[in-house]
Amino acid sequence: MQTTDQRSDSRMRDKDVLFALILILSSVSLIVYSLNLSIRAMRTVNATFYDAPGFSMLVISTGLLVLSVALLVVALKQGGTLQWLAPRQIRAALWNRSTLKTLAVFVYLFLYMTGFGQTIPGTHVVIPFWLTTFVFLVLMMLTFKAASIGYIVVMSGLCTLMTYLIFGYFVKIPLP
């Protein structure tokens, strides 16, 4: 019978196996990229191998490769596997409350950050700071049921006004 700690450790090692594999692939690509970069520099600007732009990257990527292999070995030794990547387990992991909450926060952050200072599609009108901020605050608090609707709207309005006054007016940050 596994204890909670052991279960959490084993889940961590499962993730370590996947991440180690991703790191191994990334570091190999970086090694190839840095060698290419160095060779090009050696041909065009007469750089030596050790002062070529890719040399440090080559050393660091090799170090990363060694550490990733070490991580993979440790994770496998401690019982890590890739069985959790089976479709049924993935579905179970994705369709739970916690994942959906995480996704919701990321979606709101994505919309707020990518919409910040952008123009309305098809026009030259910049979406104002107060509008994006107010909508973001209301949606975030409403989705997570932070308080009653009235409280959320008043709170969001006040916060938007305060941040605009403090940072836009007093600190003179050119907010959109």
Partner 1 sequence: MMDIFRDILNSNIEFCRHFGQLAHPESILIICLAVLIGIFFGVLPGLSATIGIALFTGLTYGMPLDRALLVLFGVYIGAIYGGSVSAILVNIPGTGSAAATCLDGHPLALRGEAGNANILARISSFIGTVFGMLIFLLFTPLMSKLALQFTSPEFFWLAIFGILICGSLASPDLPIKGWIAGLLGILMAMVGQEDIHGWDRLTFGNANLITGIPFVPMTIAFFGIPQIVKSMKGATTKVQAMSGRSRLQVWPLVRRNLIGILRWGSIGVGIGAVPGVGENIAAWVAYDDAKRRDKLGQKFGTGVYEGVMAPETANNAAIGGSVIPLVSLGLPGSPPTAMLLAALVLHGIRPGPMLTVENPGFIPRLAAIILWGAVFLFLCGLVLSKFMVKVLNVSLRILMPIIAVLCVIGVFAYNNNPFHLKLVFVFGVAGYFMDKMGYAPAPLILGLILGNLADAFFRRALLLNDGRMLGLISRPIAFFFFLACVITILNQLGLVRYVKKKYFGGSKT
Residues lying near partner 1 in the complex (CB under 8 A) are found at 12, 15-16, 19, 23, 30, 33, 37, 41, 45, 47-57, 59-61, 63-64, 67-68, 70-71, 74, 98, 101-102, 105-106, 109-110, 112-114, 116-118, 133, 136-137, 140-141, 144-147, 155, 159, 163, 167, 171-175
Q: How many CB atoms are located within 10 Å of the residue 9 CB?
A: 15
Q: Are 82 and 14 in contact, with CB atoms under 8 Å apart?
A: yes
- C-beta of 141: minimal distance to partner 1 in Å? 6
DSSP 116-162: TTPBPTTS-PBPPHHHHHHHHHHHHHHHTT-S-HHHHHHHHHHHHHH
Pick between residue 1 and residue 3 the one whose CB is nearest to partner 1: 3
> Closest CB to partner 1 among 64 and 76?
64
In whole angstroms, the minimum distance from the beta carbon of 102 to partner 1 comes to 6
Q: State whether the Cα torsion 160-167-146-154 is positive or negative.
A: negative
